[in-house]
A and B are shown apart, each in its own frame.
Chain A
Amino acid sequence: MKKVININFQGTVVPIEESAYDLLRQYIDSLRVYFAEEEGKDEIINDIESRISELFQERLKNGATCITDEDVNAIINNMGRPNDFAEAENAADDSNSKTKGSGSTNQFNWQSYSGRLTRDENNKILGGVCSGIADYLRIDPWIVRILFIISGVGFLAYLILWIFLPSNYSIQTGINKRLYRNPDDRMIAGVCGGIGSYFNVNSWVPRIIFLLPFLSFLFGHGARWIFYPSFTHITLVPSGVLIYIILWIVIPEAKTTSEKLQMKGEKVDLDSIKESVSREMKGVSERMHQMGKNAGQFFKDNGPHMRNEVHQSYRNAGGALGRVITTLVKIFVYIVLGAIAFAILAVVFSLAVVAIGIFPLKDFIVADGWQNALAWLTLIFFIGVPVVGIITFLIRLITRRRSGNNYYRNIGIGLWIFGWICFFALLSFVGRDFKYTSTVQEYSIPLDNPSVNYMQITPIQKPDYRWRSWLTFEPYSTFNITDDTALVPNIRLNIFKSPDTTFSVKYFTVSNGYSKKEADELASKVVYTGYQKDSTFFLSNEITINTHDKFRNQYVEVSIYVPLNHRIKIDNSFLSWGRSQFFVFSKYTPSYDSYSDGYDYQKGVEYIMREDGLNAVNSANSSNLSDSEKKYKYPSPDKVDSLKNDQEKQIQKMQESIDSAKKANKKALKQLQDSLLKQREDINKKLEDLGRKQVSAIHLPEMPSPGVVSPAFFGSI
C-alpha cells in the first residue's frame, strides 16, 4: 500500500508514488549539486527534467496508473547518476570540461567551498577530516595526515573534527547501497575492499581489523596482552579467518558496472548512521515495553542502524549550535547502543569459545543426570541460539531483507532466556558441588637416601609433546585429557628449610565437594607419587582425575625440606605448564601469607640452602643467569663493605712495607756508593805513592792513566 501524489512536473500533472517522488527529488537535487559550477546548469537540469517528464508520459500512456519506484529507478539508471558522469568526466579529455573548475585529482570535487572548512568526502581515508583541512589550507592531504598521526592528540582532535565539521557531501544520490566484494580492490577475495567501499572508508581499515589478531602474533607474546587477553587472542585468529571465509561465500562479487555502482552507492557514514539511530530510538522505547527488558532486543535492533537509510543532510538543520547539539546527542546514543551491542556480542562470543574449549571436560566436572542434561541445554540454547541469531542477522543484513516476522525472533528470545536459565541452573548445581572444602590430609613420601647433598626435582614422565600452535585452545593445553582420565596440574611446590640435616618430602591434598564428607573422600582418593633415585627425585606433574570421581578442584601441595648447605634444583620440565609454581620459605614452618618472594626463584637453577634462605650456586654458565639470579651469587652489601675494609688495610700494609723497603734500598745504595768512593780514593793514593817511588828508581814509559792501572800490571813488571 503506497500513497500516490500528484505533482506538477514540467508543466504536466504526474501521479507518482510518494517514495518514488522522494527518489526523483533526491536525484534531481544531486544533479543540481553536481552541475552547480557548470555554466547554464538550470538549462541542463531543465532538459533532463523535461526528458524525464517525457518518459513519465510514455509510461502513463502505456497504461500505468502512476509512476512507481521501479519506473524512477529505471529512468535514473538510464540517465546516469552524478557518479557516472563524474567517471565519464574523469576519463574524458580536459577540453570537455573547460567550464568545470576542478583541476584537482579527486573525482568530483564539485562542492569544494573556497574558504569553508568541511570534511572532504571525496578524498578521504577515514572521515575526510585531514583532506578537508588540506583543501582549506591548499596543501597535500598527506601532510595533514602525517601531522595528525605524529601529534599525540591527533586521534581525539580527529574525532572532534569528525563530529563538528560538516560534510561537503550533503546530497545523497538515493541509490540503495549494497555490500559486494570488490574485484578492483582486493587482496584475497575483495571482501575488505567491498566492506571499505560500503562504509566508504579506505579498504585498509577493514583489512587492519581482520589482521589485528595476526599482527598481535607478529609482535610476540608481549603485545598480545595489548590487543586481547591470551584466551580470546588465540581463538580470534581462526574466527577472523572463518568470518572472512563466510563473508567470501555469502557476499556476491560486483561484476557488472551497475553492481559496482551499487557497491559504491549511497554513503553509509557517520552522518547517516547518526540519522538512522535517531529514527531507531523512537521505535526502541516502544519495543522495549513490548518485549520486556531483554538485552537481546538491543542486539536485534542494532541491525537497522547498519542498514542503509536515506540520509538527510544537515544543510537545513537550522543553526549551527542546534546541529552540534543534535549531532552530539545522536553520537552519544549511537555510542551507548553500539557499546551495549558490542558487549553482548563479545560476551556471547567468548562464552561460545569457552564452552567449546571446556566441553570435552564436561564429563569430568558435570555429574550425570540432571547436570548433564543442563550442560547440553546450556550449550544448545545459551550458546547456540545467539550464534544462529547472529548468523541469521548477518545474512539478513547482507541480503537486505527486513525481518518481517517477529514470530521467529520471539521464539529465539524465549529460547535464549531458557538457555540463560539452564546456564545459571548448571552454574549453581556445579557450584554446589564445589561448596565444601575437605580437611587437609598430609602425607610424606619416604626417601631412600635422605642424606644426599644435592637433589634435583624432575617430573616422573616427560610431558607429551603438546601442540602450542595458534589453533590450540588453552584449556586443552592445561588439561591433558584421555578417554576417561584427565590430568590436572593443580599442584604447588614449596621449598622449606629442613629442621634437621636430611631432605624430606611431604605433600597434602585438599578437595572440594558436595559435602564435607565427599570432599574428604575425594581428597583421600588423590593419587600422588614420587620416588628418589640417587640425587634425582621424581615427582608427578599432574593429578589424575577420572570421570567417576569428577574434578572438584583437587589440589596437591608438595613441600620439600632442604637441609642447611644442601643444594636443590627444580627441573625446567616440572610443572612446566604455567608460571613458576614453586615457593620458598626461609622459615621452618609454612606460613601461607608470605610466599611473595617465590617469584624470584627460577627453575633450572641450582640453589643452596643458607641461613638466610636459598641462594643460587655459582656455576660455570653464570653468564647465562639473569639479574635476579645474579643477586644471589654476590655477597650482601655489608659483607662487601667489610671486604672492602680488609682490602684497604692490606693495601695500606703493602704500601708501608714497600716504603720501608725503598728506604732500606736507598741506605744500602748509599753505603755501597760511599764504600766505592772510598776504595777509589785509596787506590788513587796508593798509585800516587807508587808512581813517585818508580820515577825516582827507574824511568818507565808513561802510564796511560794512573786510575786504570791494575795491580796485575805491577805484578808483571
Chain B
Amino acid sequence: MNIENTASQMRKGVLEFCILSVIKSGEAYPSEIIDMMKEANLNILEGTLYPLLTRLKNAELLTYRWAESTGGPPRKYFSLTEKGLTFYKELEATWNELSNAVTTITHKNR
C-alpha cells in the first residue's frame, strides 16, 4: 500500500468540491483558484486543474467569460451555473456527513 497514492486519492476526491467551493464564493480565474488552494495548503499541480475545469464546464456545472487582463492574455473567469450550484450543495451535504463521520470515528478511536 503506497502512502503517496492513498493521500493523493483522498486529495483528488475533494478537489472538485474545493474548486466548486472557490468558484461559488465569486468569479475566479484558474491561477486565483490555485493560489487560494495553496493558501489553504492544498497542493495540486496546476496542470491538473485545467482539464478538471474543462470537464466541469463540459458537464455544464461551470460557465465562464473572457476578461482582459493588464499586460497579459485575456483570462477566463469561471462561475457556477444553476446546475453547478445544486451539484455543489449535494457535494457539500455529502462532505459534511463524511467529515463528521470521519472526525467521530478518528476521535473515538484515538
Is B one of A's binding partners?
yes
**Among B30, B58, B74, which residue has its beta carbon within 8 angstroms of that of A40?**
B58
**Is A53 among interface residues, defined by CB-CB distance under 8 A?**
yes
Chain A 46-88 residues near chain B, CB threshold 8 A: 47-48, 50-51, 53-54, 57, 61, 78-81, 84-85, 87-88
**Is A593 among interface residues, defined by CB-CB distance under 8 A?**
no
Give complex CA distance A529, B6 in Å: 80
**Is A697 among interface residues, defined by CB-CB distance under 8 A?**
no
What is the minimal beta-carbon distance from B32 to any residue of chain A, in angstroms?
A: 11
Contact A11 B53 (CB under 8 A): no
What is the minimal beta-carbon distance from A30 to any residue of chain B, in angstroms?
A: 11
**Is B65 among interface residues, defined by CB-CB distance under 8 A?**
no
Give complex CA distance A551, B75 in Å: 88
Q: Which residues of chain A come closer than 8 Å to B57, judged between CB atoms?
A: 40
Give complex CA distance A57, B70 in Å: 10
Number of interchain pairs (Cβ within 8 Å): 85
**Is B96 among interface residues, defined by CB-CB distance under 8 A?**
no
Q: Which residues of chain A come closer than 8 Å to B75, judged between CB atoms?
A: 50, 54
Contact B51 A91 (CB under 8 A): no
Q: Which residues of chain A come closer than 8 Å to B31, judged between CB atoms?
A: 51, 54
Give complex CA distance A446, B8 in Å: 91
Contact B76 A47 (CB under 8 A): yes
Binary contact readout A590-608 vs B (1 if CB under 8 angstroms, 0 otherwise): 0000000000000000000
Contact B46 A38 (CB under 8 A): no
Q: Which residues of chain A come closer than 8 Å to B72, judged between CB atoms?
A: 12, 53-54, 57
Q: Which residues of chain A come closer than 8 Å to B71, judged between CB atoms?
A: 57, 61
Binary contact readout B37-80 vs A (1 if CB under 8 angstroms, 0 otherwise): 00000000111101111110110000000000101111110000
Binary contact readout A215-246 vs B (1 if CB under 8 angstroms, 0 otherwise): 00000000000000000000000000000000
Query: In the complex, which of the residues A11, A35, A50 has the most CB atoms of chain B within 10 Å of its own CB atom?
Result: A50
Give complex CA distance A79, B30 in Å: 12
Question: Known interface pairs A53-B72, A61-B71. Does A87 touch B8 (Cβ–Cβ under 8 Å)?
Answer: yes
- B contacts, CB < 8 Å to A: 2, 4-5, 8-9, 12-13, 16, 30-31, 45-48, 50-55, 57-58, 69, 71-76
What is the minimal beta-carbon distance from B47 to any residue of chain A, in angstroms?
A: 4
Question: Known interface pairs A47-B30, A50-B73. Does A35 touch B45 (Cβ–Cβ under 8 Å)?
Answer: no
**Among A38, A61, A85, which residue has its beta carbon within 8 angstroms of that of B47?**
A85
Contact B46 A88 (CB under 8 A): no
Query: In the complex, which of the residues B51, B58, B71, B72 has the most CB atoms of chain A within 10 Å of its own CB atom?
Result: B51
**Among A51, A57, A80, A96, which residue has its beta carbon within 8 angstroms of that of B12?**
A96
What is the minimal beta-carbon distance from B44 to any residue of chain A, in angstroms?
A: 8
Contact B9 A92 (CB under 8 A): yes
Question: Known interface pairs A53-B73, A54-B31, A88-B12. Does A40 touch B54 (Cβ–Cβ under 8 Å)?
Answer: yes
**Is A346 among interface residues, defined by CB-CB distance under 8 A?**
no
Contact B12 A31 (CB under 8 A): no
A-B contact pairs, 17 of them (CB 8 A): A31-B47, A44-B51, A47-B50, A50-B73, A51-B46, A51-B50, A54-B72, A57-B72, A78-B46, A80-B45, A80-B46, A85-B45, A87-B8, A88-B45, A93-B9, A96-B52, A99-B58
Q: Which residues of chain B come closer than 8 Å to A638, judged between CB atoms?
A: none
Query: In the complex, which of the residues A10, A31, A91 has the most CB atoms of chain B within 10 Å of its own CB atom?
Result: A91
Give complex CA distance A43, B53 in Å: 10
What is the minimal beta-carbon distance from B39 to any residue of chain A, in angstroms?
A: 16
**Is A39 among interface residues, defined by CB-CB distance under 8 A?**
yes
- A contacts, CB < 8 Å to B: 10-12, 31, 35, 38-40, 43-44, 47-48, 50-51, 53-54, 57, 61, 78-81, 84-85, 87-88, 91-93, 96, 98-99, 184, 257
Q: Which residues of chain A come closer than 8 Å to B5, judged between CB atoms?
A: 91
**Among B13, B51, B52, which residue has its beta carbon within 8 angstroms of that of A35?**
B51
Contact B73 A91 (CB under 8 A): no
Q: Which residues of chain A come closer than 8 Å to B73, judged between CB atoms?
A: 10-12, 50, 53-54
Give complex CA distance A121, B76 in Å: 36
What is the minimal beta-carbon distance from B24 to any residue of chain A, in angstroms?
A: 20
Q: Which residues of chain A come closer than 8 Å to B58, judged between CB atoms?
A: 39-40, 99
Give complex CA distance A89, B74 in Å: 29
Give complex CA distance A184, B75 in Å: 41
Nearest-CB residue, chain A, relative to B74: A50
Give complex CA distance A671, B105 in Å: 119
Give complex CA distance A288, B71 in Å: 54
Nearest-CB residue, chain B, relative to A79: B47
Nearest-CB residue, chain A, relative to B5: A91
Contact A48 B50 (CB under 8 A): yes
Question: Known interface pairs A10-B73, A79-B47. Does A91 touch B9 (Cβ–Cβ under 8 Å)?
Answer: yes
Give complex CA distance A44, B58 in Å: 12
Contact A84 B45 (CB under 8 A): yes
Question: Known interface pairs A47-B54, A53-B72, A91-B5. Does A84 touch B12 (Cβ–Cβ under 8 Å)?
Answer: no
Give complex CA distance A608, B74 in Å: 107
Contact A93 B54 (CB under 8 A): no
Contact B8 A91 (CB under 8 A): yes
Give complex CA distance A57, B76 in Å: 17
4 shortest interchain CB distances as A-B pairs:
A80-B45, A80-B47, A79-B47, A92-B12
Contact A84 B9 (CB under 8 A): no
Nearest-CB residue, chain B, relative to A43: B54
Give complex CA distance A10, B76 in Å: 14
Q: Which residues of chain A come closer than 8 Å to B12, judged between CB atoms?
A: 88, 91-93, 96
Give complex CA distance A35, B48 in Å: 11
Q: Which residues of chain A come closer than 8 Å to B74, judged between CB atoms?
A: 50
Nearest-CB residue, chain B, relative to A38: B51
Contact B48 A80 (CB under 8 A): yes
